[in-house]
Structure 1
Amino acid sequence: MSAHHQTRGNTDSPEKMLSMLLDGAVEVLDIAPDLHDTAIDRYGEVGTWLAENGSPGWEIHSQGSFLLGTVVRPNTETGEYDIDLVCKLPLQRESTTKEELKQRVGDQLVAYRRWKQRQGHTDGPESLESRRRCWTLGYPGFHLDVLPAIPDEDHPPTGILLTDKKLHKWQHSNPLGYADWFRARSELSRALLEKRLVASVAKVPEHHIRSTLQRLVQILKWHCMLFFADDTDNRPPSILLTTLAGRAYRGEDDLFTAVRNVLAAMPRFIERRGNQWWVPNPAHEEENFTDKWNEYPERRQAFLSWSNEINAIMDNLALSESKGLDVVYSQLVKSFEAGPVMRSFESYGTRMKAQPGQRLGATGLLSTTASGPLRKPNTFYGPHPGARS
């Protein structure tokens, strides 16, 4: 039976139903509140150690999806969350090299890990390794990537310069400035402001509230991760999807409507400057998030293929709503992933059954035999982080 024709006095609109199902599915992939709080504690302790044992003026702060609230559990064997931190030293570019900067931060992290082990603490990092741009501390369910940085004196007050052992030049960035921009775009939603007002009274931590824009970005990242599971070299970077979504977002409160509108508008924010494709960083206009398109044209074609695919999915979902929840379920499973989708439908079914006078279709809300070419289930959903099927 179609949700649109179900008999109850307060029937969800098609858009609201699809929004709730998408939101419920991607929520499964969001970092759990307890793991989020654990990561905050670990990051806080690491930051305190660096600040107290490094030279005066060392600062540490989060960046990337953890700071933006758009984390999606990666489609990897372990399903570990990746949390990026910046360790900024108050040095001038002329006074250090990238190699020296990275080693200084690494030395302190080695000392921190040894101190945790000597103290007999069981909550310290299980591993520490050097990577291309950062030092990685491994914990159960997540890892912290610590990126050494110095101030970018040409872009005060929040611009930074990062190390990269594969590149000769310092890399520009401005994660705090970008987060301010993204937060302002999120707050175009009236519903978000109302949720935060209620949360402040109920004392719910703000980081446990997701805006429409945050959820929208998580959906785009999730589908992109699955679409490019076997072609990670051509997968568009998350920062590109986040930036295009943030620019295209116009404050819609309904998630499904917002996804469709944003996807339709995103191409307008891809610029052509001479013979170069450009999507500027809102917090650092000289940085181009599509610079690789100019070097590898196949990456632009890959982005367009993904964009066409997810647009078609949303169009099909809009059409399938009138055919009943089993058809919607089948469409979502074919396009996304069985585990998170099933959990979302179970939650939605529980909510529907609680409504007076609610009747379900003959096959039931959640038919586990729903047709559709199911993909092989991944391991990034499960009862606990890092769980394996």
Structure 2
Amino acid sequence: MTESILPPIALTSTASAYLERLAAELDVPPSRYEEATRRYKSVGEWLDREESNLKDLDPEVYVQGSFRLGVPIRPVNEDEHYDVDLVCELKSAGKHLTQRQLKALLGYEMKLYAKAHGMKEVGESRRCWTLEYADGAQFHLDALPAIPDGEGQRRILAARGLSNSWTETAIAITDNEHPQYDAVCEGWPHSNPKGYTNWFRSRMRVAFEARRGAMALESKASVEDIPSYRVKTPLQQSVQILKRHRDLMFANDPANKPISVILTTLAGLAYQNEPTVGQALDTILRQMDSLIGRDGQGFPVILNPTDPAENFADRWRQYPNRRENFFMWLRKARADFVGLAQQWHGQGLVEVAERFAGPRIATRASTSSPSPVRSLLALLPNRASLISAPHKQLAPWPVVRQGQVRIAKATWRANGFSRPTRFYSDSHPLKKGANLKFEATTDVPGPFDVHWQVVNSGAEAVRANQLRGGFDRGAVERGSVVRHESAAYAGSHTIECFIVKQGHLVARSGAFVVNIN
């Protein structure tokens, strides 16, 4: 493991566009989300019917896992099944029952459900009951028995001096390998799928709200009319691509592949609201290993963001080959991403992308039409006219790519008195009068010249004759590429950083959108 972060990778425009199509091809069709919703609601209605033995225990059925997070992927081949993970939380039950008794209560009703619906015999696994649908349905449901356990989880964390900010939705679950499976006790296994989902969504809220709002505008509907499963952020799409890459790499050893919750957690921690899949993948792959900690004995630690007492990497102690497999996969994913990022032509993209998605999907992505939902820039009204505005001057330097530059951090400060607050490209509008600071990072070795291009829009900028669009010479402050601006005019504006060396344009950041109201 290393605590250093690798330098950014420069993606070709062709590779960036291809990754958007690849992510769309990997995603589960909306009809599958809708079918999964119908099936779990049917189970919930069954458990809550008048004749149900569980009705008085106030059952609540909800999805957990990849479907809840919005990161399921199509099966590798057309014959494989979709796994839908459910929680059957009996909200009025408690620990006066044993884990075995709770599981048996749910199992009885699940068997009745299967019989009433002409389904296969219900299967039992370590923690769940499994419903197998008829041949051709390509679905099975894993139903996890659970009871509310926020209070119990708060006691555990308080005893260890740990944060308990996510415990309101914590649950206790069953596990037939648990040493107290048959005991009436407090020490049940625990989980918190609702809390984890809320954390994951918090990591992509800016991108999610921008995309959902743009989809609503495009379809002339209200935001509430756009189901969340139809909105895909670069974080979710990156997780889908990385999961498929892992599945293909460990097709012959699935029991020892890196588990999805580790990939999802590290990706969520690394993501910084990058507007495209390519940029998000670059950031995630570069930072993943730097986000893994160590305990006092030097063992890896990947804490559950909603339960600091849980280490997702705890089994790496017992199975050191799984730890080795994770880092072997990460090295391979990085190498394959670099190979894909450098491709300019279709066949080269497909050949490298087969390692991420398999031949079938890689080929389909090469011939599919661009989705109407792409980067955040492409989603909001009038962005195309802003990016290609007539007052926006073309870069006057010959292009010789030698590296990459990106606007890594942007902050605003109101009236020069408050603390600086970070904001992101195409985020919520800032108030007029704020002082803005942009900080760029580049892997181009010095010396070099820095130029900035600001492109304004809106009636106020027109009246003030301040649409701009030219190039301003910048400077390096204390080793950093920094630009100061002010939020003077209402509208949507862009700023872009250019690195020029010996009269050649060697790197440019791409447009960073600033909204001002």
TM-score, scaled to structure 1: 0.79
Matched residue, 2:144: 147
Indicate if the aligned counterparts of 2:127 and 2:176 stay in contact, CA closer than 8 A: yes
Of the structure 1 ranges 287-296 and 69-78, higher mean CA displacement relative to structure 2 is found in: 69-78
- Alpha-carbon deviation of 1:329? 1.9
Secondary structure, counterpart of 2:117 in structure 1: helix
State the distance in 2 between where 1:164 and 1:76 align: 31
Q: Give the counterpart letter for 1:113 in structure 2.
A: A
1:177 matched to 2:192: no
State the distance in 2 between where 1:31 and 1:281 align: 26
Deviations 1:139-169 (A, max 9, x none): 2111111000112232342101111112325
Secondary structure, counterpart of 2:288 in structure 1: helix
Matched residue, 2:55: 55
Aligned CA distance change for structure 1 residues 236 and 270 (closer, same or farther; 3 Å): same
- Alpha-carbon deviation of 1:188? 3.4
Secondary structure, counterpart of 1:165 in structure 2: coil
Deviations 1:225-274 (A, max 9, x none): 11111111221110110000000000001111110111101112111111
Aligned CA distance change for structure 1 residues 137 and 29 (closer, same or farther; 3 Å): farther
1:198 matched to 2:217: yes
1:231 matched to 2:253: yes
- Alpha-carbon deviation of 1:115? 2.9
Secondary structure, counterpart of 2:19 in structure 1: helix
1:342 matched to 2:336: no
- Alpha-carbon deviation of 1:184? 1.0
TM-score, scaled to structure 2: 0.60
Deviations 1:195-228 (A, max 9, x none): 3543674344331121111101101111011111
1:265 matched to 2:260: no
State the distance in 1 between where 2:341 and 2:272 align: 20
In structure 2, which of residues 127, 130, 133 is the aligned counterpart of residue 133 of structure 1? 127
Indicate if the aligned counterparts of 2:89 and 2:145 stay in contact, CA closer than 8 A: yes
Q: Give the counterpart letter for 1:100 in structure 2.
A: Q
1:163 matched to 2:157: no
Q: Give the counterpart letter for 2:197 in structure 1.
A: A
Indicate if the aligned counterparts of 2:70 and 2:229 stay in contact, CA closer than 8 A: yes
Q: Give the counterpart letter for 1:212 in structure 2.
A: P
Deviation above 6 Å: which 4+ runs of structure 1?
A: none
In structure 2, which of residues 231, 244, 251 is the aligned counterpart of residue 209 of structure 1? 231
Matched residue, 1:105: 106
Higher RCO, 1 or 2 (CA under 8 Å, sep at least 6)? 1
- Alpha-carbon deviation of 1:191? 4.3
Aligned CA distance change for structure 1 residues 255 and 191 (closer, same or farther; 3 Å): farther
In structure 1, which of residues 248, 251, 256 is the aligned counterpart of residue 273 of structure 2? 251
State the distance in 2 between where 1:131 and 1:198 align: 45
In structure 1, which of residues 317, 326, 332 is the aligned counterpart of residue 340 of structure 2? 317
State the distance in 1 between where 2:246 and 2:61 align: 30
Aligned CA distance change for structure 1 residues 62 and 317 (closer, same or farther; 3 Å): same
State the distance in 2 between where 1:162 and 1:350 align: 41
Q: Give the counterpart letter for 1:49 in structure 2.
A: W
Aligned CA distance change for structure 1 residues 199 and 105 (closer, same or farther; 3 Å): farther
In structure 2, which of residues 205, 227, 245 is the aligned counterpart of residue 187 of structure 1? 205
Residues 88-127 of structure 1 mapped to structure 2, 5 A cutoff: 88-90=89-91, 94-117=95-118, 125-127=119-121
Q: How many residues align?
A: 330
Q: Give the counterpart letter for 2:236 in structure 1.
A: Q
Matched residue, 1:328: 349
- Alpha-carbon deviation of 1:334? 4.7
**Gapped runs of 5+ residues in structure 1?**
1-12, 118-124, 352-389
Indicate if the aligned counterparts of 1:16 and 1:256 stay in contact, CA closer than 8 A: no
State the distance in 2 between where 1:136 and 1:72 align: 20
State the distance in 1 between where 2:334 and 2:252 align: 21
Q: Give the counterpart letter for 1:277 in structure 2.
A: P
Aligned CA distance change for structure 1 residues 263 and 135 (closer, same or farther; 3 Å): same
In structure 1, which of residues 27, 32, 48 is the aligned counterpart of residue 29 of structure 2? 32
- Alpha-carbon deviation of 1:51? 2.2
Deviations 1:277-297 (A, max 9, x none): 211111111111000112222
State the distance in 1 between where 2:36 and 2:268 align: 26
- Alpha-carbon deviation of 1:349? 8.5
Larger C-alpha radius of gyration, 1 or 2? 2
Aligned CA distance change for structure 1 residues 237 and 48 (closer, same or farther; 3 Å): same
Matched residue, 1:295: 318
State the distance in 1 between where 2:61 and 2:289 align: 35
Secondary structure, counterpart of 1:250 in structure 2: coil
Aligned CA distance change for structure 1 residues 162 and 19 (closer, same or farther; 3 Å): farther
Higher strand share: 2
- Alpha-carbon deviation of 1:180? 0.5
Identity %: 36
Secondary structure, counterpart of 1:302 in structure 2: helix
Task: Tell me how large the CA RMSD over aligned residues is.
Answer: 2.4
**Gapped runs of 5+ residues in structure 2?**
1-9, 154-166, 181-187, 373-517
Indicate if the aligned counterparts of 2:195 and 2:306 stay in contact, CA closer than 8 A: yes
Aligned CA distance change for structure 1 residues 205 and 304 (closer, same or farther; 3 Å): same
Indicate if the aligned counterparts of 2:270 and 2:284 stay in contact, CA closer than 8 A: yes
Higher helix share: 1
State the distance in 1 between where 2:235 and 2:13 align: 16
